[in-house]
């Protein structure tokens, strides 16, 4: 597997991953009926942001991440990032590799810290992965996410210095 910057030509391979995650509606605060055009606007970053893809040995895009400033202006030295791995490729280290690549890229780009604003408390895989990568839950907005199976659950803010 290789992780590289995404180009516009990768979007047709990225969209099915994004689409499946938003339709499932259990991990992101994106509209569950998000259309492809809005999905592309949200996911494909332009400078100073960057979108990455994880590509397997057969050249298939199996995961993607985006990185950019969490806030504008005086808040722009803290990064934000988002991650999605194709359902059939999960549990094999793609998410961890993307997480490590994004942390390395954020350091290179001069960010001082990284913050995730809305990690669904019930998303055990994500909370475990971000904790393993050095993030801490610094607060939880109670009942802020309407989970399709678990009802109202918290949204964690997770943070780490770089
Ligand atoms: C969260 C996500 C990116 C993880 O990607 P992945 O490729 O499955 O993760 P990895 O195989 O690299 O697993 C890394 C770690 O995650 C944790 N993890 C992964 N799947 C898990 C599961 N089902 N239950 C608990 N922990 C799990 C483990 O701590 C694992 O540690 P290890 O490396 O010591 O085995 C992926 O599940 C995904 O895309 N989910 C849908 C979208 C999403 O939730 N994005 C993140 C929003 S904050």
What CATH number did the domain enclosing 52 receive?
A: 3.40.630.30
Q: Does ligand 1 have an atom closer than 6 angstroms to the CB of 127?
A: no
Residue 28 lies in a domain: yes
Average pLDDT value for the chain: 98
What's the pLDDT score for residue 69?
Answer: 98
Q: Which atom of ligand 1 is nearest to the CA of 116?
A: 48
Residue 158 lies in a domain: no
Q: Does ligand 1 have an atom closer than 6 angstroms to the CB of 125?
A: yes
What's the pLDDT score for residue 56?
Answer: 97
Residue 20 lies in a domain: yes
What's the pLDDT score for residue 99?
Answer: 98
CA nearest to 110, candidates 160, 157, 48, 54: 48
Residue 29 lies in a domain: yes
Of all protein residues, whose CA lies closest to atom 36 belonging to ligand 1?
85
Q: Mean pLDDT over residues 146-153, rounded?
A: 98
Q: Tell me the pLDDT band of 83, cut-offs 50, 70 and 90.
A: very high
CA dist 122 → 8, 25, 35 (Å): 33, 12, 25
Structural domain of residue 78, as residue ranges?
Answer: 2-114
Q: Name the domain count of the chain.
A: 1
């Amino acid at each position: 597997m290789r992780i590289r910057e995404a180009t516009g030509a990768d979007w047709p391979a990225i969209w099915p991953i994004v689409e499946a995650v938003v339709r499932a509606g259990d991990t992101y605060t994106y509209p569950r009926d998000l259309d492809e055009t809005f999905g592309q606007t949200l996911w494909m970053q332009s400078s100073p942001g960057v979108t990455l893809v994880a590509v397997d040995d057969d050249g298939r895009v199996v995961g993607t991440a985006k990185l950019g400033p969490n806030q504008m202006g005086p808040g722009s030295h803290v990064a934000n990032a988002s991650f999605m791995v194709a359902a059939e490729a999960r549990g094999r280290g793609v998410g961890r590799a993307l997480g490590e690549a994004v942390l390395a890229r954020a350091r290179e780009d001069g960010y001082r810290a990284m913050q995730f604003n809305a990690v669904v408390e019930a998303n055990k895989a994500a909370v475990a992965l971000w904790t393993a990568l050095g993030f801490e839950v610094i607060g939880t907005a109670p009942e802020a996410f309407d989970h399709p199976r678990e009802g109202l659950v918290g949204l964690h803010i997770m943070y780490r210095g770089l």
